[in-house]
């Protein structure tokens, strides 16, 4: 039976997707500028809420309280809110260039929070034009954004259910503005050598970890999909056979395409089991503490 999960293809909404991605980078860079630094770059992460993407509460540099910056994907506005009740709203449509939205969001944030330094350089994307100069990305189709939100919120609920019983350290369901995906990470408690020394890698992959995430498609994989990987991944990690999804050698991750998931009887349960199956396998080949690993399956249960 085909579920209510919408089909999301990057090719069908790439222009809008890239514009939305750029807008999330503005929020993320405001978080980087204002939030106190945390391990695993958690201070830079955004959250997916019922209205869209938003920062956590960020301290105002002028000492007046805090602000939250958000993309309201129901009203199709960028929103900057102060804890004293002041709110600034910036329209995302009809088809406003990233440059214009970025400049207005920054002006609103600085008006409410005080001065701060903002790095306009886009990250982990194929374009290089600074966000506050980018007039190439402007397409914003509200129907495509609504479809994205339907899929993204369902994916976020899967990630939250997967993470919930685990008794080790883990992240919340993060919305990552660099890679434009949602992800949760479980940690074994042991350090690991980062695979490279660039800033992002050395700060986000310095611990043994397992990640389950979801993206709405991109140039490398044009269909929305769940993904799972372990770091560090030893020989044998790619050998798992799954009823749904499988190893993608080009991406170096396990992939579960949303269109395959939509055909299952219970897509939510199937996606959670995809994550747990890969995690059980990762724990075995990566030599995690198997008692800790079992907690991801609810043994012992999180609440008794």
Angle of the 267-286 helix axis to the 142-163 helix axis, nearest 10: 50
Produce one character per residue of 127-159: b if its CB has 16 or more CB atoms within 10 Å, e if not: eebebbebeebbbbbeebbebbbebbebbbebb
Confidence at residue 175, expressed as pLDDT on a 0 to 100 scale:
98
Range of the domain at 73: 10-133
Q: Are residues 42 and 92 in the same domain?
A: yes
Q: Is residue 76 part of a domain?
A: yes
Q: Write the CB contacts of 111 (distance below 8 Å, at least 6 apart in sequence).
A: 88
Q: Are residues 119 and 177 in the same domain?
A: no
Q: Is residue 84 part of a domain?
A: yes
Q: Is residue 303 part of a domain?
A: no
Confidence at residue 3, expressed as pLDDT on a 0 to 100 scale:
55
Q: Is residue 155 part of a domain?
A: yes
Q: Are residues 199 and 236 in the same domain?
A: yes
Q: Are residues 291 and 149 in the same domain?
A: yes
Q: Are residues 77 and 180 in the same domain?
A: no
Q: Are residues 188 and 58 in the same domain?
A: no
Q: Are residues 192 and 283 in the same domain?
A: yes
Q: Are residues 33 and 153 in the same domain?
A: no
Q: Is residue 223 part of a domain?
A: yes
Q: Are residues 33 and 79 in the same domain?
A: yes
Between CA 183 and CA 128 the distance in angstroms is 25
Q: What pLDDT digit, counting tens, does each position of 208-234 carry?
A: 999 999 999 988 889 999 999 999 999
Q: Which token pair is 215?
A: 């993206």
Q: Are residues 149 and 293 in the same domain?
A: yes
Question: What is the number of domains present in the chain?
Answer: 2
Report the alpha-carbon angle 159-196-22, nearest 5.
55
Q: Are residues 110 and 203 in the same domain?
A: no
Domain boundary among 103, 133, 163: 133
Q: Is residue 292 part of a domain?
A: yes
Domain boundary among 89, 114, 133: 133
Q: Of 138, 152, 200, 139, which is closest to residue 180 (Cα–Cα)? A: 152
Q: Is residue 4 part of a domain?
A: no
Q: Is residue 262 part of a domain?
A: yes
Low-confidence ranges of the chain (pLDDT < 50): 1-2
Q: Are residues 34 and 169 in the same domain?
A: no
Report the alpha-carbon angle 140-146-147, nearest 5.
110
Q: Which token pair is 50?
A: 């019922």
Confidence at residue 4, expressed as pLDDT on a 0 to 100 scale:
83
Domain boundary among 133, 153, 168: 133
Q: Report pTM.
A: 0.96
Q: Of 111, 176, 45, which is closest to residue 103 (Cα–Cα)? A: 111
H or E element that contains 187: strand 181-191
């Amino acid at each position: 039976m085909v579920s209510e999960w919408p089909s999301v293809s990057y090719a069908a909404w790439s222009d809008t997707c890239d514009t939305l991605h750029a807008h999330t980078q503005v929020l993320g860079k405001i978080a980087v500028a204002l939030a106190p630094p945390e391990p695993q770059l958690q201070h830079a992460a955004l959250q997916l809420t019922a209205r869209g993407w938003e920062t956590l509460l960020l301290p105002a540099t002028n000492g007046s309280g805090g602000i939250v910056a958000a993309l309201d994907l129901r009203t199709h506005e960028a929103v900057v809110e102060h804890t004293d009740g002041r709110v600034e709203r910036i329209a995302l449509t009809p088809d406003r260039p990233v440059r214009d939205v970025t400049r207005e969001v920054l002006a609103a944030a600085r008006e409410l929070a005080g001065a701060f330094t903002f790095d306009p350089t886009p990250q982990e994307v194929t374009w290089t034009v600074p966000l506050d100069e980018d007039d190439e990305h402007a397409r914003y189709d509200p129907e495509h954004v609504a479809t994205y939100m339907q899929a993204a919120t369902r994916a976020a609920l899967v990630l939250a259910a997967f993470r919930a019983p685990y008794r080790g350290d883990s992240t919340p369901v993060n919305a990552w503005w660099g890679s434009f995906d949602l992800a949760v990470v479980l940690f074994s408690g042991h350090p690991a050598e980062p695979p490279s020394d660039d800033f992002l890698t050395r700060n986000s992959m310095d611990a043994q970890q397992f990640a389950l995430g979801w993206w709405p498609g991109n140039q490398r994989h044009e269909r929305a999909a769940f993904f799972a990987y372990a770091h560090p991944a030893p020989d044998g990690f790619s050998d798992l056979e799954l009823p749904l999804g499988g190893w993608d050698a080009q991406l170096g991750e396990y992939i579960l395409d949303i269109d395959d998931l939509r055909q299952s009887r219970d897509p939510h349960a199937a996606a959670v089991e995809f994550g747990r199956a890969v995690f059980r396998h990762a724990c075995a080949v990566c030599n995690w503490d198997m008692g800790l690993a079992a907690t991801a399956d609810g043994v012992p249960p999180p609440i008794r």
